[in-house]
Amino acid sequence: MGKYLNKGQIFDAESGEDLYANEEQLQSRLDFFEKQIQAQTADTPAEKKIKNLLEIGRIQIERYKGSDAWKKAFSAFDIARDNELWELAVEACDVMFLSEGPDALKALGHALWLGVTFPINPELTVVMLQYLVEESPKEADTCAIAAATANYITSMRCGADDDLTFFASQMMASVAGEHSHVTNQSAFDLWRKTLQLDKPKVFLKKLSGAIDQLVADDWWVDRDKIKAKLDAEGK
């Protein structure tokens, strides 16, 4: 664990140093990645094109230039979608969400749908679910549904002793405390059963409803086409 959850939301840390501490450093990195983009050709791999755009987007967030960050991230999303690079598509949604643009929650909705639908890095999916918890009122069932989904995702994609599994269980316990003042195991078990958070088919359907509200019927992906392809592949 660390690529997403321990990056100060945006960047990996190296040796505890803040690599982007001042504008001069930010501008230097910005220049570097803009030159990378200028040097791209038709043969440049889509993954590299996406990563260059996302690096610029993240830098612009640090520079409080959310509008530019959004544009770069949306361009990255388009390339990722067209090439079915779904984990990178979620990373692009992450940058769009952090840019705090007018459609930031719509981007979060896409990130959640893709992050649950595809077996991408579970840590990235958990971060998106954590955003949903943070964006929802503490007493809202959406918080509980998001936490339960994070717990479910880690149980399916990680080992029982994995750090991310522990993180997700702690998130669920924290949400239970804030949602219903749960303070002990028996109360937690009752809370979980009452809200049917022990039934994936139930809470995943509710999560789908929450995602639909975020996206507001303005989908940037063809969900029916994606579902049909996954069904054909037996996934």
> Domain limits of the chain?
1-102, 104-218
The residue-averaged pLDDT of 26-47 equals 94
Checking if the pLDDT of 11 tops 60, the result is no
Checking if the pLDDT of 212 tops 60, the result is yes
Average pLDDT, the chain: 91
Give φ, ψ of 218 to 5 degrees: -125, 70
The residue-averaged pLDDT of 96-113 equals 97
188 vs 182: CA distance, rounded Å: 6
Residue-level pLDDT at 13: 39
Which position has the higher pLDDT, 20 or 184?
184
Residue-level pLDDT at 92: 98
Checking if the pLDDT of 15 tops 80, the result is no
User: Please, what is the end-to-end C-alpha distance for the chain in angstroms?
Assistant: 26
